[in-house]
Amino acid sequence: MSEASLPASPVSRRRWLTLVVVGLAQLMVVLDGTVVNIALPSAQADLGFSDGERQWIITAYSLAFGSLLLLGGRLSDLIGRKRTFIIGLIGFAIASALGGAAGSFELLVAARALQGAFGALLAPTALAVLTTTFIIPKERARAFGVFGAIAGAGGAVGLLLGGYLTETLDWRWNLYINVFIAAVAVVGAALFVPHVTRTGPRPKLDLPGTVLVSGALFALVYGFSNAETDGWDAPLTWGMLAGSAVLLVAFVLWQRRATHPLLPLSIVLDRNRGAAYSSVLIAGAGMFGIFLFVTYYLQATLGYSPIQTGLAFLPMIGMLVVAAQLGTNFLVPRLGPKIMVPAGMLLGVAAMIGFTFLDENSTYAANVLAPLMIMGAAMGTIMPASMQTATLGVDRQFAGVASAMVNTSQQVGGSIGTALLNTLAATAAADYLAANAPVTQQVAVNAALASYVTAYWWGAGFFAFGAVLAALLFRRRGHGLSLANAHLHASNADAEPVVSH
């Protein structure tokens, strides 16, 4: 089924203002993954929690966000995207204000979990709004280029913003800032996000499917988070991961027989969309090697401040934005994702290999800048093309849950990447220290560098695997979507919504 055959929504100049509003919401959700990391030491000193408790400030957000994404995406399909989008924005702002005002560790953790829950409502709805607003291929490409650039650059923007707010104001402003962003976005959403009126019968929420997949995603994210702190052999780690696998199998079996499935299997079984989801997951896993270990390297080895670290990532953001626009406007329409996504993955391999040459005598301009810019080009090539393909041709009433799968892939990829790369890096550091006793300051520095190099090589492996997988799975240009999905679209044609402002 071609994109042109999708039902058209009214063409309006306001759709570009819709993109601005959606972009603001996406930026707020994405940067919150890193902006709080910078504030953690200050928050810990202020509230007096232990190093062991510190991880829960991050984990509480990722657990709620990761486990509720598919539910959030489906709710946007059922109760309306504009309404869900505004509820998500207001809820995220309230949760951020509570976190900023938190006087105890427990309240901060609860606020972060609440942020994650409303983020899970907001992120897929933002992408679904974009998917159903931009249906003209050329404009769709441009819009997804902007959205993909924000998704890829948000983490680096978070590092810069977090450093600035923590150093010049207070750690609490890393949370309060969301209130102002959300307030602007709520006004913009009320004015510019189109209202959708459903004309067919309202489908029901698949409660058993929701419970199964939310439990599976919670166990998956928790298992990887626990592996990062307690190791892969900890009973809680493998118990959670095994439980996640069982629940995911049960979810798939239930979706095959459910009358109103949460996630119609034809959405993920389409080859192009499956390839796109896989690419987002692998890029997310590899990307964490950049933010995590390059940040460690710049601050611990080269002595950069948080603000300097954030500024160091700016060229990568610039390259990402350029690559995203160039790719989606000119290259993807001509070459298709089968060439573009593997090419982006190979750029990721080159960047990771470039990082392996960094040592204590390296300089930013001579040694760090080039790999960072190559990584920006990689992410700008992979993310917009994958996001656009992942939501292309999906029936409008399933746009929310299809969009949620993009966010879920990125979240799960990030969790896997963080846990796996951290474990491998820690093992490499321990092995180096054991082989080079007694431990001097120089040996400790070398051990840290050895751990970073190990993480970069594994990150290069992630991207290399992604290149092969994308080249094999993506269809050649001109091949349509699967017959199963075409049937799904046709069978739901009577439920198409009507768009109005």
Query: Is 422 within 8 Å of 429 (Cβ atoms)?
Result: no
d(CA 160, CA 177): 13
Residue 495: CB atoms within 10 A of its CB come to: 15
Encoded tokens for 268? 């993920």
Tokens 């009320």 locate to 190
pLDDT of residue 5: 38
Mean pLDDT of the chain, nearest integer: 82
Spell out the per-residue pLDDT of the chain, length 501, in tens: 333 333 444 445 677 888 888 888 888 887 777 777 777 778 888 888 876 677 788 778 888 888 888 888 888 878 888 889 999 999 999 999 999 999 888 999 999 999 989 998 888 888 888 877 887 777 877 887 777 777 666 767 777 788 788 888 888 998 998 999 999 999 988 888 877 665 556 667 888 888 998 899 889 888 887 877 777 888 998 999 999 999 999 999 998 888 888 888 888 888 888 899 999 999 988 877 677 788 888 888 898 877 787 788 889 888 988 898 888 778 878 888 899 999 999 999 999 999 999 999 999 999 999 999 999 999 889 988 888 888 787 777 777 788 788 878 887 887 778 778 888 888 888 889 988 878 788 888 899 899 999 999 999 999 999 999 999 998 876 544 433 343 344 334 333 343 434
pLDDT in tens, 407-445: 788 878 877 787 788 888 888 888 899 888 787 888 888
pLDDT of residue 486: 38
| CATH superfamily placement of domain 12-193 | MFS general substrate transporter like domains (1.20.1250.20)
Which is it for the CA torsion 152, 156, 161, 162, positive or negative? positive
Q: Which fold has domain 263-493?
A: Growth Hormone; Chain: A; (1.20.1250)
d(CA 501, CA 496): 16
pLDDT of residue 90: 95
Query: Can you give the length of the chain in residues?
Result: 501
Give 330's contacts (C-beta < 8 A, 6+ positions apart).
Answer: none
Q: For the chain, what is the total number of helices (H) and then of strands (E)? A: 19, 2
The closest alpha carbon to 149, from 388, 355, 331, 464, belongs to: 388
The domain locations on the chain are: 12-193, 206-256, 263-493
Tokens 């657990």 locate to 63
Q: Are domains 12-193 and 263-493 of this chain identical in fold?
A: yes
pLDDT of residue 93: 94
In terms of Cβ atoms closer than 10 Å to its own Cβ (0-12, 13-18, 19+), residue 16 is middle
How open is the CA angle 240-246-249, to the nearest 5 degrees? 140
d(CA 427, CA 91): 40
d(CA 71, CA 216): 12
* H/E segment holding residue 97: helix 81-100
Give me Rg for the CA atoms of the chain. Answer: 22
d(CA 305, CA 27): 23
End-to-end CA distance of the chain: 28
The closest alpha carbon to 372, from 298, 435, 479, 445, belongs to: 298
Query: Is 418 within 8 Å of 290 (Cβ atoms)?
Result: no
SS (HEC) of 303-343: CCCHHHHHHHCHHHHHHHHHHHHHHHHHHHHHHCHHHHHHH
CA separation, residue 347 to residues 59, 272, 320, 475 (Å):
30, 21, 12, 21
Tokens 């994958």 locate to 386
d(CA 130, CA 385): 14
pLDDT of residue 257: 87
pLDDT in tens, 61-112: 888 888 888 888 888 878 888 889 999 999 999 999 999 999 888 999 999 9
* H/E segment holding residue 392: none
